[in-house]
Chain A
Amino acid sequence: MEFSLTRSEHKPLQVNPIKHSQPMGATLAFLGVKDCMPLMHGAQGCASYTKVFFTRHFNEPIAINNTSVSDITAVLDGGDYSILMAIENIQNKDKNLKPSMIGLHTTGLTETKGDDVRGVGMHIEIPYVFVNTPDYEGGMESGWALTVTAMIEQLTEAATETKPNKLVFLPHLSMQPIEVEKIKSLCEDFGFETYALPDLSTSLDGYWEAGQGKLANGGITVDQIRDLATSSVVISIGASMKKSALALQKKNPAIEHIHFDHLMGLEGCDNFVSALMKIRHSEPKPMIKRWRSRLQDTMLDSHFLIGTSHFVVTGEPDMLVGICALLRSVGGTVIAAVSTTFSDALHTIEAENVFVGDLEDARRFFDRADMVISNFHAERILHTVENTALVLRGFPNYEELGNQLKNDQLYEGSTYFLFEIANTLRKVKHEH
């Protein structure tokens, strides 16, 4: 079978899928808003699966509620009943629960029946953001991006003035909490008052605290989202986030928009740092420079192992773009980059094969690969393949611990990533 990068599917089904749904991306985005109550509008199973999925990936309690649409309400209700009843029932059950916001996201079921989720908002006193995320369209990455856009469009207040050193960046779905934190801290080092939307760095970052997660327990606040249009700069990271940045610019055309497809590797990170330098007219702190030279050294140390190796990489488009660029920068050969969904950014990937597919498709390349970089589901399949190593990245990673603290971004993260790849490669390349 020939694989090429197109929007149309090459077979009628998915076998061992890597793709995940839009509503799940929406849930995760809402979890990056402090005290938000993500409310999934669908049958109870969608939310139950989503809860287990993220609980196992992050090893954290996941706050999510659902409207439990039944076969009867699916036909008779326009959404008002189940959404309003859900909010009332949740609040009656726990009077102390004070959500800062309801994050309503739809599913295939409620999109098919065509609920008016915008209209329902009129009857809700708590701040309410809705987003249409049918799971028969797009994927987890687009669900996350649509949710960020919805929060900006529905919450952020239009402004005309900007604060000169206020910056907001919009991370793509696949960035883990520590990665958001590292980017935030780099921007803060440049003297920016920095916000991330959403901000998982203080929400699912694996810190220990008493109590249980009935609401998102960290993240950017609703007031901070309202006030985002006073930023002087919005930075979108990942092609999926461009539209969200444009939505913010609509709230205030004076905001400067800077876009990066990814922040991995020397070039990706240099672009980012030089953009910040240009705005602030200042140099980065010594530690940043130090990490850059460590990355340079690591590239040289690892280039032989990686440069003689073949890779299969699977995942969400924005993550794929970054990982493949970093591997290429030290000579790695990507024989297949398999994406969950279509994105124009995939055209920028330098690989022998770039296409939208599943693990059945990816498997065709495993025998030729020294390493597969994929999610949890590749592990069992690789048991039948000799001398192909595995590094786990992307959602879900059910079994490994510490996913929230895996950092692949900027000079520092890229350095550790290259070491991990090279050291794991050593096990299959030299020890047999």
Chain B
Amino acid sequence: MVSRAKIKELMNESACSHSKDKKPGEGCDKPKPGLAAGGCAFDGAQISLFPYADAVHLVHGPQTCLGASWETRETKTSYTGRDHTQMGFTTGINTNDVIFGGDKRLDASIDYIMENYRPEAIFVYSTCVTALVGDDIDMTCKKASEKHAVPIVPVHAAGFVGSKNLGSRLAGEAVLEHLIGTKEPEFTTPYDINLIGDYNVTGDMWQYLPIFEKIGLRVLSSMSGDGRVGDIRTAHRAKLNVIVCAKSLITLTRKMQEQYGIPWISVSFYGKRDTTFAIREIVAALGDPALIERAEAVIAEEEAALEEKIAPYKALFAGKKAVLNTGGNKAWSIASGLQDLGIEVVATSVAKSTQDDIDKAREYLGENGVLMKKPAAEQGKIIDSTGAHILLAGGRSLYTAIKKKISFIDVNQEKKTSYGGYGGLLNLAEDLKYAFRNPVFANVGKPAPWEVG
């Protein structure tokens, strides 16, 4: 069972940028009835761990938790064994289990999985109901782990303990407590890093991993995109933790610094400048002059190749202006990508951004860029006043684009292609090309024959 002290600790993460604005002990916001949208802690935990394709992810709870969530994320893996990432396993407890406890069912389910699927590990997720009735998941997992001789990791992130973000942190706790440091790597290099927080959605990681290889960086383990349980167990031997666009796992990296002396940095791989910046940060943190030199050579080569490929797009996009309305780090990361393609970003939303994100957005957009606090109300006027040609936003803003007869890209929709790394910029460019060309937003809003006066 997860203790209140642990949740309090996680909610008061000292490395969080917003913590400095709060009173001592206040911590992150708790969900308010009626106002909380977005996923729960269980959701966050599952997102953070699910990409381990060599492990089975067993959800110990009633039907909603897994039934509505499995196979919903395009987290790619290169694992050649059975890909458990796109499978769903749940104990699907019934009334009997609620009354008498679900430990026996859980135990039998683990046996069934080991017998039929032989995974490298099993993550067992507690959920609201099984946490409330007090199933002893820790004991069941411990015994089963001894019996089957593979790690069986209890994840205590029942939905009601908080938000998705907290759940990711709790997943980090489970990994730190049960996996990291339980195995030694076959060999180490001075350039071993852990990637933390990239889940390889649509294959984002594969846009930049080949570049790492060219430079000579080795990814020792990943939490958890294209990750392997065997690798994360050796993560304590890495020289550097690299957090990719994920604030939620800062607690994990801070603790790894305390326990194993591994420093950490936070980077993003959206757009050309960010990718270059990220590579420079990583090699600088490792501090080896030869590595830095190799990195600069690779950066120069990659950037030159990319410039050549994006030149025709730049010509196509010359003079185009965009309004961006999306949340979190996308407020500046997509802006950066758009600018790399020669598009002027006249406004971006900072409604849900942290102070860090706001500062960064200001830096990218410059003095004249508008940082929208109430994007729903502001974006229409800004499109009028700036003559913007495209709106990149969630589906709810579609009507604004139709009303203003400008192009639209739904940036919150489940992506099918990656926008990450240097190569992802070309995917973004392609999508933009088709969006600018598409007359549908002007066509669809035409008045009906019976509406024409």
- Residue positions of A touching B, CB distance < 8 A: 11-17, 19-24, 39, 42-46, 48-53, 56, 61, 65-71, 73-74, 81-83, 85-90, 93, 107-109, 112-113, 134-137, 139, 208, 210-212, 376-377, 380, 396, 398
Contact = CB atoms under 8 A, between A and B. Distances in A.
Interface stretch (B91-99, B232-240, B300-308, B319-327): B91-99
A12 B94 CA distance: 11
Contact of A377 (B38, B42, B62, B70): B70
B32 A85 contact: yes
Contacts of A23: 64
A52 B92 contact: no
B89 interface: yes
B403 to A, nearest CB: 8
Interface in B19-39: 30-39
Given A89-B33, A89-B35, A44 B64 contact: no
B182 interface: no
Nearest to B400: A210
A74 B132 contact: yes
Contact of A61 (B67, B109, B112, B396): B396
A74 B128 contact: yes
A208 B163 CA distance: 33
B158 interface: yes
B71 A68 contact: no
Contacts of A48: 37-40, 43
A13 B58 contact: yes
A42 B112 CA distance: 30
Contacts of A61: 395-396
Nearest to B117: A15
A45 B45 CA distance: 12
Interface string B413-449: 0100000000000000000000000000000100000
Lowest 9 CB-CB distances: which A-B pairs, in order?
A: A45-B40, A86-B34, A43-B159, A12-B108, A89-B34, A13-B109, A86-B33, A21-B63, A136-B62
Given A45-B39, A212-B396, A67 B33 contact: yes
Given A21-B62, A112-B132, A134-B62, A52 B72 contact: yes
Given A14-B90, A377-B70, A380-B71, A109 B43 contact: no
A109 B112 CA distance: 27
B118 to A, nearest CB: 14
27 contacts: A13-B91, A14-B89, A17-B63, A17-B70, A19-B63, A19-B67, A20-B64, A21-B62, A21-B63, A44-B163, A46-B64, A49-B64, A53-B68, A66-B36, A69-B160, A71-B158, A74-B132, A85-B32, A85-B34, A86-B34, A86-B35, A89-B32, A89-B34, A135-B64, A210-B399, A211-B399, A212-B396
B64 A12 contact: no
B24 to A, nearest CB: 20
Contacts of A44: 31, 36-40, 159, 163
B86 interface: yes
Contacts of A86: 33-35
Contacts of A134: 62, 95, 98
A115 B54 CA distance: 40
A13 B89 CA distance: 7
Nearest to A13: B109
Contact of A66 (B34, B87, B129): B34
A46 B159 contact: yes
B61 interface: yes
Contact of A87 (B34, B91, B163): B34
A68 B35 contact: yes
A45 B90 contact: no
A21 B58 contact: no
B150 interface: no
B95 A208 contact: no
B380 interface: no
Given A16-B87, A74-B128, A137-B94, A107 B64 contact: yes
Nearest to A53: B68
A147 B118 CA distance: 42
B64 A24 contact: yes
B391 interface: no
B432 to A, nearest CB: 23
Interface string B83-115: 000111111111101100000010011001100
Contacts of A112: 98, 128-129, 132-133
Interface in B48-84: 58, 61-72
Nearest to B97: A136
Contacts of A85: 32-34
Nearest to A109: B128
Contacts of A42: 128, 159
B36 A71 contact: no
A11 B128 CA distance: 23
B406 interface: no
A38 to B, nearest CB: 12
Contacts of B151: none
B161 interface: yes
A390 to B, nearest CB: 15
A24 B38 CA distance: 16
A20 B67 contact: yes
Contacts of A73: 33
A12 B105 contact: yes
B67 A21 contact: yes
Given A49-B65, A51-B37, A93-B34, 7 more contacts: A12-B91, A13-B105, A89-B32, A112-B128, A112-B132, A212-B396, A380-B71
B153 interface: no
B155 interface: no
Please indicate which of the listed interface residues A39, A136, A396 has the most CB atoms of chain B within 10 Å of its own CB. A136
B160 A15 contact: no
A44 to B, nearest CB: 4
Contacts of A22: 63
A426 to B, nearest CB: 28
B186 to A, nearest CB: 32
Given A45-B39, A61-B395, A66-B36, A376 B71 contact: yes
B30 A70 contact: yes
Contact of A13 (B35, B90, B403): B90
B66 to A, nearest CB: 7
B410 to A, nearest CB: 11
B74 to A, nearest CB: 11
Please indicate which of the listed interface residues A43, A51, A73, A212 has the most CB atoms of chain B within 10 Å of its own CB. A43
Nearest to A91: B34
